[in-house]
Amino acid sequence: MHIQHISPASAATVSEAVSLPPATGPLSSEPIKISAFGLPDQNGACGSDLSVVSEPLMTVPRWERVGRVVPSMDAVLKVFCVHTEPNFSLPWQRKKQYSSSSSGFVIRGRRVLTNAHSVDHHTQVKLKKRGSDTKYLATVLAIGTECDIAMLTVSDDEFWEGISPVEFGDLPALQDAVTVVGYPIGGDTISVTSGVVSRMEILPYVHGSTELLGMQIDAAINSGNSGGPAFNDKGECVGIAFQSLKHEDAENIGYVIPVPVIMHFIQDYEKNGVYTGFPILGIKWQKMENPDLRMSMGMRPDQKGIRIRRLEPTAPESQLLKPSDVILSFDGVNIASDGTVPFRHGERIGFSYLVSQKYIGDNALVKVLRNSETLEFSSKLANHKELIPSHIEGKPPSYYIVAGFVLTAVSLPYLRSEVKL
């Protein structure tokens, strides 16, 4: 199983796709009847073999979801980027330039959102509106590598004429319909694909080497869809397409950056004037589902929590917490022995979601059990610097030459370039 971010479509290939997904039967406005059991067939009958079928619960006109999204489609843009990546083996040089295309969309404040990997190591970024033949030069305002979101703007007033910004909706529930709009490979005009929300959990963000809240959908997401919005049936944006699952036993599994992560990025930029990042707890922990393990740590039968295995030496939490401390709660929310906290009705999610909802510099109360004694600490959250950074924020690598030797800082991008990780 391999999760990868959706690479921007290369300019050397035929890029961007057009076409609406074919329906079962000819395109029409006839309603589809949905019954209590199974799925409807072309005649509206239920697919179940039960002899008694309840009355239809609702009718959904064919293509109604797409029709509601149409007014927002003019805000979806095609992003053209020229990339010049650093050469980690020869840090005083850069690699050969290459071009890519991806997707983006307009939000309030004359700004555009796309994926961070779509404009990574950018030299030039241009935007093209739907139905236009003009490319407008864009400026990158902020890049959030961890959350794989970038914010752009265009100084040309002509670009903003006739564009209405996209409005954001609430976090969708499971089985809610979503429509992904963008410019994937396969054509040059806008493409629309539909699906449903199949999962909501903490996911690995491949580009940022982090874990944040993510939304899994069953709509097809391909190269070039990067940065495109996902709309709900009201035409509101509920996420940004950014990566997919590549596995021989899986099809049409795409991942979307949900609204809470997007709003955190936007509000962080508006509050600080720059992107500061998502706070994290610099700990490695283990589950405590084994009752014997909990007993050995001096926990009561009604107590739950997670055990700290290791603390990052550069994390501020290393001054407060200790290995083998048991974290009982974070900011007043009890943590279960499997590391989850309540999320929505009938759902649980990893407790790191609570941390990611905070901002750099916020304080959080951490309750721990140490030597059978309950302690509470106030920790100032930060995005601590790792000893081996996962990324270098688009900057060229630093280096020092002495006596014929070239010295450079160790980073994950450097290791990938040298040993092909």
The answer to whether the CB of 220 falls within 8 A of the CB of 228 is: no
DSSP 3-state assignment of 227? coil
Residues composing the chain: 421
Q: List own/partner pairs for 163-166 with CB under 8 A and 24 or more apart.
A: 163/74, 163/75, 163/106, 163/129, 164/71, 164/72, 164/74, 164/75, 164/106, 165/75, 165/106, 165/107, 165/108, 165/109, 166/72, 166/75, 166/105, 166/106, 166/107, 166/229, 166/236, 166/237
**In the structure encoding, which two tokens stand for residue 105, read together?**
């969309």
Candidate list 117, 121, 207, 264, residue with the active-site label: 117
Greatest pairwise CA separation for the chain in angstroms: 86
Beta bridge partners of 82: 99, 124
Mention every residue, 6+ apart, whose C-beta is less than 8 A from residue 107.
113, 165, 166, 266
Judging by beta carbons within 10 Å of its beta carbon (0-12, 13-18, 19+), is residue 396 exposed, middle or buried?
A: middle
Q: Based on the residue annotation, tell me whether 226 is a catalytic residue of this protein.
A: yes
Q: Report yes or no: 84 and 94 within 8 Å, Cβ to Cβ.
A: yes
Determine which one of 148, 233, 268, 325 is catalytic. 148
Residue 207: name the closest of 106, 331, 119 by CA.
Answer: 119
Cα distance between residue 382 and residue 362, in whole Å: 8
121 tagged catalytic? no
**What residues have CB less than 8 Å from 286, skipping those under 6 apart?**
306, 307, 309
CA of residue 30 relative to chain centroid, distance: 36
Q: Which one of the listed residues 72, 100, 101, 226 is annotated catalytic?
A: 226
Q: Which helix (H) or strand (E) holds 211?
A: strand 210-217
Alpha carbons 260 and 209: distance in angstroms, whole number: 19
CB-CB contact of 105 with 228 (8 Å): yes
Active-site residues, by number, are 117, 148, 226
